Structure 1
Amino acid sequence: MQDRSLQKHWFKQIAEGDETAFRSLFETYWDHLYTVAMLLTKSETLSEDIVQETFLKVWNKRRELPEVDKPEGYLFIIARNQIYNLMKQQQREIKYRKYVLDWFEAANETPENDLLFKESSQLLHRAIGQLSSHQQTVYKLTREQGLSYEETARTLNISTSTVRNHMVNSLKIIREYLKTHTSPLVFTIAMLETLK
């Protein structure tokens, strides 16, 4: 790792809006932060997200950087908090999804349930139709064909970060469409379909 005086120099420059110093910091620490995230999450996609979010927080809080005494420690504390928050969120999502799936599995198959699933499927299809052509392509490759972000990026000859941005924006659009066009129960079923 870099000498602390150089780290502090970078932090001072970044605080003044110096993008070159920020890039130097990013290139120096990206691999190490990614490795730590991978060890804990076992996921390339989540690890990339964690590192990106860590550096985004550094940039957004750049005015505080001159006060930081141990820049390297500061970076790892932010990354650690990102990992912790992500894992807490995942646990909540897993429990919620399991609860809903268990509820549906426990329910007897009835014409009413069949109708609910059919309605949610149609609604999700209409929500996907609200996406731009690029977003639809990325969404279908990752969600319907099960490709990873990296595989989707190679298939479309675009960057992984572009794929991720398309997916983040797509899911926001789909979620907002579903919220305003259905009941809470159908919304839940349709959102579960997006998690497959």
Structure 2
Amino acid sequence: MQDNALSKDWFRQIAGGDETAFRSLFDTYWEHLYSVALMLTKSEALAEDIVQEIFLKIWNKREELPDVEKPEAYLFIIARNHIYNVLKQQQREEQYRKHIIDWFEGAKENPENDLLFKESAALVQQAIGKLSYQQQTVYKMVREQGLSYKEVAEQLNISPNTVKNHLVSSLKQIREFLRGYASPTVLAIAMLETLR
């Protein structure tokens, strides 16, 4: 770890738009922040995203940096607050998803709903079929096989960030496709499938 004097120098340089200083800060603190995020989230992909977002916040707020008296404390406060907010959001989403999934699982027991679920599954597959080959590959490896961004990146010889970008783009295209073709009930079921 660098001492506070050097960190303040970094902050002044970063405030002036010095990308090399920002990279030095990133390289010094990335592993520690990632370890904390991984311990709390139990997800490599989410921990990587969190750390990237923390440093993005630092960069976007760089005009504030020259006024910071304790740079290391400032960095960890931003990290702590961001991780806390992500965990709270994740908890809300999980509770919502569990509620919706439970409802749909119950609805699956009703034979009258069987056609709706088959129709929604077919629509999702049709939407996946509209993706590029690379997007389909990434989507299936992450969403269907349950691989992490890092595992997919290693198998496809691309960066984890590229994997994430492909997945985000794929989900956006799938949802746009579904909005254009599905009835409200089928759309709700199909959208749920993309959240699993």
Q: TM-score, normalised by structure 1?
A: 0.91
Who is 1:144 aligned against?
Answer: 144
Query: Could you report, residue by residue, the CA deviation over 1:45-101 in whole angstroms, capped at 9, with x for unpaired residues?
Result: 111111000001111111121122211111111211221111111111111111112
Task: State yes or no: 1:194 paired with 2:191.
Answer: no
Q: Quick one: percent identity of the two aligned structures?
A: 70
Q: CA deviation at 1:111?
A: 4.4
- The answer to whether the 8 Å contact 2:108/2:114 transfers is no
> What aligned pairs does 1:55-74 form with structure 2 within 5 A after superposition?
55-74=55-74
Amino acid in structure 1 at the alignment position of 2:42: K
**Cα displacement string for residues 149-173 of structure 1 (whole angstroms, at most 9, x for unaligned residues):** 2221111111112111211222222
Name the CA distance, whole Å, in 2 between partners of 1:53 and 1:19. 16
In the other structure, the counterpart of 2:24 is 24
> 2: CA distance between counterparts of 1:46 and 1:2?
26
Q: 1:107-147 deviations in whole A, cap 9, x for unaligned?
A: 36344311211121122123223322221111111112222
1:179 and 1:55 mapped to 2: Cα distance? 35
- The verdict on how the C-alpha distance between 1:125 and 1:62 changes in structure 2, with shifts beyond 3 A counting, is same
Distance 2:108 2:114 in 1: 10
Per-residue CA distance 1:169-190 (angstroms, 9 max, x = gap): 2222223333343344323321
- What amino acid does structure 2 have at the position aligned with 1:41? T
User: Which letter maps to 1:194?
Assistant: T
CA distance in 2, matches of 1:108, 1:58: 47
Pair 108,53 (structure 1): closer, same or farther in 2 beyond 3 Å: closer
TM-score, normalising length: structure 2:
0.91
> What code does the residue aligned with 1:168 have?
V
Aligned-residue Cα RMSD (Å) equals 1.8
In structure 2, the CA distance between the partners of 1:63 and 1:148, relative to structure 1 (3 Å rule), is same
5+ residue gaps, structure 2:
none
Report how many aligned residue pairs link the two structures.
Answer: 196
**Residue equivalent to 2:37:** 37
- TM-aligned CA distance change 1:62 to 1:48, over 3 Å: same
C-alpha distance in 2 between matches for 1:116 and 1:19: 52
